[in-house]
Chains A and B, each alone.
Chain A
Amino acid sequence: MIVKLRNPTREIVIDGRRRVHALLTELDLNRESHLVIRNGTLVPGDGELDADDVIEIRPVISGGFE
Chain B
Amino acid sequence: MNVGSKCRTCREPAIIDLPRHNANFCAEHFLELCRRQVVKAIEKYHLLEADDKILVAVSGGKDSLAVWDLLLELGYRADGLYVGLGIGDYSDVSGQYAKRFAEERGLPLITIDLRGEYGYDIPTAARATRRVPCSACGLSKRHLFDKAALDGGYTALVTGHNLDDEAAVLLGNTMRWEVDYLARQLPKLEARNGFPKKVKPLVRLTERETAAWCVVRGIDYLVDECPMAVGNKHLEYKGTLNAMEAASPGSKAAFYLNFLERMAPLLAGHRADDQHTLRTCDSCGAPSSGEVCAFCRLVDTASAHERVPVELLTRGKR
Binding site for B on A (CB under 8 A): 6-8, 30-35, 37, 40-48, 58-66
**Within B216-236, which residues are at the interface with A (CB < 8 Å)?**
216, 223-226, 228-229, 232, 234-235
A37 to chain B, nearest CB (A): 6
The contact sample of 10 A-B pairs, CB cut-off 8 A, is: A6-B223, A8-B318, A33-B207, A33-B242, A60-B208, A61-B238, A63-B226, A64-B229, A65-B165, A66-B134
C-alpha gap A45/B5 in the complex (Å): 8
How far apart are B7's CB and chain A's nearest CB, in angstroms? 10
Q: A30-B243, A42-B15 are in contact. Are A48 and B4 (CB under 8 A)?
A: yes
| Nearest 4 CB-CB pairings of A with B | A47-B2, A64-B229, A60-B211, A46-B4
Given known A33-B242, A41-B15, A48-B1, contact A62–B225 (CB-CB < 8 A): yes
Q: When chains A and B are docked, how far (Å) is the Cα of A31 from the Cα of B208? A: 9
- Are B2 and A46 in contact (CB-based, < 8 A)? yes
Q: Which residues on the A side are within 8 Å of B61 (C-beta)?
A: 62
Complex interface: chain A residues within 8 A of B225 (CB): 7, 59, 61-64
**Complex CA–CA separation, A8 to B314 (angstroms):** 14
Given contacts A46-B2, A66-B134, is CB(A6)–CB(B245) below 8 Å? no
From DSSP, what is the main secondary structure of chain A's interface residues?
loop
* Residues of A with C-beta under 8 A to B15: 41-44
Q: Does B206 contact A (CB under 8 A)?
A: yes
CB distance from B124 to the nearest CB of A (A): 17
B312 at the binding interface (Cβ < 8 Å): no
Residue with the greatest number of chain B CB neighbours at <10 A, chosen from A7, A30, A62: A62
For residue A56, give the distance in angstroms from its CB to the closest CB of chain B: 9
**Which among A7, A34, A44, A59 is the interface contact of B318 at CB below 8 angstroms?**
A7
- Most chain A CB inside 10 Å of its own CB: which residue of B165, B211, B238: B211
Any A CB within 8 A of the CB of B153: no
**Which residues of B have CB within 8 Å of A34?**
208
Kindly list chain B residues whose C-beta atoms are within 8 Å of the C-beta of A47: 2, 4-5
Cα–Cα, bound, A62→B208 (Å): 10
A65 near B138 (CB under 8 angstroms)? yes
Contact assessment for B135 and A66 in the assembled complex, using a CB-CB cutoff below 8 Å:
yes
Give the shortest distance, in Å, between B309 (CB) and chain A (any CB): 19
Complex Cα gap A61–B164 (Å): 9
CB distance from B272 to the nearest CB of A (A): 18
Cβ–Cβ contact A60 & B207, under 8 A: yes
Given A48-B2, A60-B62: A35 in contact with B17 (beta carbons within 8 A) = no
